[in-house]
Amino acid sequence: MRLLPATLSIYLGKQFIKNVLIIFGVLMTIIFLADFIEALRRGGDREDMTIGILIQMVVLRLPTLSMKLLPFIALFGAMLTFFRLAKTSELAVIRATGVSIWQFLFPALAIAFAFGLLVLTVINPIAAAMQAQNDRMEAKYFERHSNLLTLSTNDLWLRQIDDDGLSVIHARGVVNQGIDLADVIIFQYEGDSEIFTRRIDADRARLRPGYWELHNVVVTGPNRPAERHTRLELPTSLTVLQIQESFASPATLSFWDLPDFIATLEHAGFSGDRHRLYFYSLIAGPILLLAMVLVAATFSLRSLRQGRTVLMVLGGIITGFVFYFMTDIIYALGLAGNLPVLLAAFIPAAAITLFGLAMMFHLEDG
C-alpha cells in the first residue's frame, strides 16, 4: 500500500490526537465528578476524612478507570475526527486525489496501535502503582478490620482480626484454593494490642464455615506448659472467597510484574486465572484500540455517503456498548473455565477487528 505524503499524514495524525484528547478530557471530567460525589457519600461522615484525602483517592483511581475507557475514547475520538474532516470538506478533497480509505486511515491506525503499546509498557505500571496506593488508603480509611494476605514462593501469611483479637497464620503449603493448609503456625494476640497470648502449631488446617479445623496440634504460650490436641477448632470469620480475594488485585500489579506473581500464585496452590486473564487482556489492548478506529471509520464514512449521520452515530455507540457487555460475558466464561483464558482474553479484540475489517471491505472496494 502506497503511504500518504508525510505532511498529510502528520496533519491527519494531529487531527486524530486532538479529537481523542477532547473526548478523553470530557469523559475524565465526568468520571472524576461522579467518583468524587460517590467518595463524599462514603466518607463524608467520617471525622478523620478530609476533602483533600478524598480528592487524592479519586485522582489515584483515575488512571485505572481511564484505561478501562480507552476503547470508547478511541472509538468516539476517531468518529469525531472523521465527522469534522467531512464537515470541512477536507475528506472529500483527499479522496478526490485518489487516496484509498486504507491510506486515509493509516495515520489514525498507527497512532492508536502505538498508543496502545505505550499504555501497555509505560502507563500501566504507573496506573498500577497509583491503584495500589489507593487500595492502601481504602484499607486505612474504609476497611479498618480487613484481613490481609501475603504470599511468597514457599509461604503464606494470613492476618485475621476477630472479636477475640488478632491471629497471624503462617503455612508452608496450600491446596484446594486455600481451604487446606499444611505445616501451620498461628500466633495469637490479645484484642487490638500486641500482647502475645499463645502459639498454635498444627500439621494441617482446614477452613470450615466459622472455624479452622486443626489436626495434630501443639499449643504453647507464655508461662504455660505445652498442650497437645489431636483436633482443635479455632473460630474465624474468614471464608474461602475472602482468602482468594485477599490477593493483590490485578489492577495493582504492573504488566511487567504479573508473570512472576502468577507463577508464585500457582506454585502456592492457588488459581492464577484471574490475573492471567488480565495479563492477556493487556496484551490485546493495542489491537483493540486499532479495531475501534476501524469501527469508527465504518460508521462515520457510511453516514457521509448515505446522509444518515444520526443513525450511524447511534449505531457506532450501540456497537461500542454491545462490545463492552459481550467482553464481560466472555471474560466470565474464561474465569469459570468454560473457555481457555488465553482465548477469552483475545476473542473480544479479534471479534471487533474482524467486524471492522469486514465492514470496511464492504464499504471500500479499493
Per-residue pLDDT of the chain (366 residues; tens, 9 = 90+): 566 778 888 999 999 999 999 999 999 999 999 999 988 888 777 777 788 888 999 999 999 999 999 999 999 999 999 888 888 888 878 877 878 888 889 999 999 999 999 999 999 999 999 998 988 888 777 764 444 566 665 577 888 777 777 888 888 877 766 678 888 999 988 866 678 888 999 999 998 888 889 999 999 988 888 889 999 988 887 777 777 666 778 888 899 989 988 887 777 667 788 889 999 999 999 999 999 999 888 887 765 555 566 777 777 778 878 888 888 899 989 888 888 999 999 999 999 999 888 888 877 654
Give domain limits for the chain.
6-142+272-363, 148-244
Angle at 69 between CA 122 and CA 78, to 5 degrees: 95
| Type of residue found at 328 | D
Those residues with Cβ within 8 angstroms of residue 67's Cβ, 6 or more apart along the chain or in another chain: 119, 123, 124, 127
Would you state the pLDDT for residue 145? Answer: 45
d(CA 73, CA 58): 20
Q: What does the pLDDT read at residue 245? A: 65
Q: First CA to last CA across the chain, in angstroms?
A: 11
- Taking the C-alpha atoms of residue 272 and residue 239, their distance in angstroms, rounded to an integer, is 19
Say if residues 84 and 19 touch (Cβ distance below 8 Å).
yes
Instruction: Centre a 10 Å sphere on the Cβ of residue 229 and count the other Cβ atoms it contains.
Output: 14
3-class DSSP state of 100: coil
Instruction: Enter the DSSP assignment of 191.
Output: B
Q: Is residue 216 packed enough to be buried (19+ CB in 10 Å), middle (13-18) or exposed (0-12)?
A: middle
pLDDT reported for residue 366: 45
Give me the pLDDT at residue 45, please. Answer: 73
